[in-house]
Structure 1
């Protein structure tokens, strides 16, 4: 399923267009649809986490339902990630309770609205760790 112009330009230009967005940095997350099995592509704000992993937030703007990509990686945590021209395999997992406060703070540094999104919902918004394989 194609169509998101941000994702399309990012992939066409290896991130020359789309990597920098509103003062943040974007990666493309590739998941498999949990029902369809087809590839899904999502442009997400990210931060580095340690030497070999990246953080993204499953916020969906603070709605009570998690984003579809999060449900997809819950059913199949083996994903692909593209940062600029580098596409690689990764394994997705939710940040542990010990990791989450620091991981959340790192994400809020670049996108303060995450705190607003969390205030809007009783759902605990997960931080997802994408570990490069």
Structure 2
């Protein structure tokens, strides 16, 4: 994506209207395309790197598949930001990881077992700064909500 294209996408994704529509449209399209291409293509990954997280439901105990933007980190870990597009509540997948930190991701067509770690304190602050450098609209999302956006680091199991 060009620098201009990235700025346009960031501006659009920061809009309140996007926050209302995207949670209903983006994941459904991502899941369908990911399934049809056997994990090779994730549409939203054209803008940001992405994974499909499979976590155990906190209440149901059933596997839940959620396409998510991620920030790959040096050393083979991934940062997930529970921004929920700047909406008030934490996204369900964050509760799932809190209840059941062992999960798996589909990353570039490969299924990888991972363990999620909720970041807190100085570790969270460093990761948050890196996330803002990576995708500035996260600052807009945080400004819209009273909750602290949850950050998770996923490491291979």
- Structure-1-length-normalised TM-score: 0.86
4+ runs of 1 displaced by more than 3 Å? none
Q: State the 1:64 CA deviation.
A: 2.7
Q: State the 1:17 CA deviation.
A: 4.4
Unaligned ranges ≥5, structure 1: none
In the alignment, what sits opposite 1:115?
A: 139
Which of the two has higher C-alpha Rg? Answer: 2
Aligned partners of 2:44 and 2:69 also within 8 Å: no
Aligned partners of 1:30 and 1:81 also within 8 Å: yes
Structure with the higher fraction of residues in strand conformation:
1
- Larger mean CA deviation between 41-50 and 11-20 belongs to 11-20
Q: After superposition, where does 1:46-57 map in structure 2 within 5 Å?
A: 46-57=70-81
The reply on whether 1:86 has 2:110 as its aligned counterpart is yes
> What is the rounded CA distance, in whole Å, between the counterparts of 2:42 and 2:84 in structure 1?
23
In the alignment, what sits opposite 2:59?
A: 35
Aligned partners of 1:19 and 1:27 also within 8 Å: no
- Larger mean CA deviation between 76-85 and 8-17 belongs to 8-17
Structure with the higher fraction of residues in helix conformation:
2
Once superposed, what is the RMSD of the aligned Cα atoms?
A: 1.8
> What is the rounded CA distance, in whole Å, between the counterparts of 2:70 and 2:31 in structure 1?
15
Larger relative contact order (C-alpha < 8 A, sep ≥ 6)?
1
- Larger mean CA deviation between 48-57 and 68-77 belongs to 48-57
Alignment length, in residue pairs?
A: 130
The reply on whether 1:20 has 2:45 as its aligned counterpart is yes
